[in-house]
Structures are given as structure tokens and as C-alpha cells.
């Protein structure tokens, strides 16, 4: 359907924090949709939030609410004519890669990978799928979100602002047009 997209930020370890005072990584019980003043939200999140790759992340995705999120993602992408766009995903999470590779077993599906550089993990993933089902946009030009949206994303066919402008211009008299009665000397 025109103008409809399922946008999902499925993965990222926002509840794994590095505590520099004790040199430990800990998992906090941050509830979904927590307010900015929640006691477990760090004062400077950018200094503490990290993605800590280990086997526990794969196992944790089988627990609530992640299991439902992964089931929803699999149901949304593992269907004919589905398209997945990844932006900045490093293909280092096997539990996500399995769902994406399952999707690519359906011949009419497609995947667009937008990345700054194609490292070994991206290349390994692409080697596991058919070339015709993957589009690669590699480099700093594509990885810059402003450049990507402005130059490469399609403009919506149903642009209501442009449509309204055209309607207004149709009903406005044009200077110099003798039939409009405006600007005739």
C-alpha cells in the first residue's frame, strides 16, 4: 500500500550498561517506554550504553518481550514480495541473520543493505543468499542518512502538498493571460 511502511528498531542493547566505577557490564531492568526520569535511565546514556556481544543475547531473544518481537518480524518479512532495508546493521547477530536468511528463501523477497563498508560479516551474509535478491549500497555517501533520503529514496506518489498546490494554481489567475483578465494592458 502506498505510503505505508513497517519500521522496526528490533535490536540493540539499550539495557546493557557499562559501569566504569566498578568496571562491570550489567543488565538493568529498564521497562519498555520508560520515562527519561526513570531511576534506571543513566544521566548520560551515551557514556554508558553499549552493545555487548555474547551468547546471552541470542538466548535472551527467546524470552518475553523479544520472542514476540522476533515472531512479529519473521511473520512480516517471511512472506512473498517483502523487502527489508537494513541501515547500519553489522550482521553479527546470528538470531537476526537466521530470520533474514529464512526470508530470502522466498524468491520474491528482496533485501537492501545500506552500510558504510562491507566487512567480512556482510560479505559472508551476502554469500549465503542469491545475488538477485540483495542490493548493496556501500560507502560513506550512502551511509549518510540525509544524502540517502534526499538522493535515493523514492518520493511518495501521493504527495498531498504538491497536489494541493496544483489545485490552487489551477484556480489562480495568471498574469499576462488575456483570458484571466489579470495583467492585460
* Torsion angles phi and psi, residue 83, rounded to 5: -130, 130
How far CA 179 is from CA of 35, 170, 173, in Å, comes to 61, 13, 9
56-86 pLDDT, tens digit each: 666 666 665 667 777 888 898 999 999 999 9
- pLDDT average, residue stretch 94-121: 93
pLDDT digits (tens, 9 = 90+) for 136-185: 999 999 988 888 888 887 776 666 777 788 888 888 876 666 665 555 55
Average pLDDT on 106-113 reads: 95
- Domains of the chain (ranges plus CATH)? 11-52 (no CATH), 54-170 (3.40.50)
Band (pLDDT 50/70/90 cuts) for residue 100 is very high
* Class of residue 162 by CB neighbours under 10 A (exposed 0-12, middle 13-18, buried 19+): exposed
pLDDT digits (tens, 9 = 90+) for 123-139: 999 999 999 999 999 99
- Centre a 10 Å sphere on the Cβ of residue 151 and count the other Cβ atoms it contains: 10
pLDDT of residue 101 exceeding 80: yes
The pTM (predicted TM-score) of the whole model is 0.59
Amino acid at each position: 500500500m502506498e505510503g505505508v511502511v513497517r519500521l522496526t528498531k528490533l535490536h540493540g542493547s539499550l539495557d546493557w550498561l557499562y559501569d566504569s566505577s566498578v568496571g562491570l557490564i550489567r543488565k538493568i531492568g529498564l521497562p519498555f517506554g520508560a520515562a527519561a526520569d526513570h531511576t534506571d535511565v543513566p544521566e548520560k546514556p551515551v557514556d554508558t550504553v553499549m552493545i555487548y556481544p555474547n551468547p546471552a543475547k541470542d538466548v535472551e531473544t527467546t524470552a518475553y518481550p523479544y520472542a514476540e518481537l522476533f515472531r512479529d518480524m519473521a511473520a512480516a518479512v517471511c512472506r512473498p514480495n517483502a523487502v527489508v532495508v537494513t541501515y547500519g546493521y553489522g550482521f553479527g547477530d546470528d538470531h537476526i541473520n537466521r530470520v533474514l536468511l529464512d526470508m530470502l528463501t522466498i524468491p520474491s523477497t528482496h533485501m537492501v543493505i545500506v552500510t558504510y563498508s562491507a566487512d567480512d560479516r556482510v560479505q559472508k551474509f551476502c554469500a549465503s543468499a542469491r545475488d538477485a535478491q540483495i542490493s548493496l549500497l556501500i560507502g560513506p555517501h550512502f551511509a549518510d542518512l540525509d544524502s540517502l533520503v534526499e538522493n535515493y529514496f523514492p518520493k511518495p506518489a501521493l504527495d498531498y502538498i504538491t497536489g494541493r498546490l496544483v489545485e490552487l494554481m489551477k484556480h489562480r489567475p495568471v498574469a499576462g493571460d488575456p483570458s484571466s483578465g489579470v495583467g492585460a494592458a
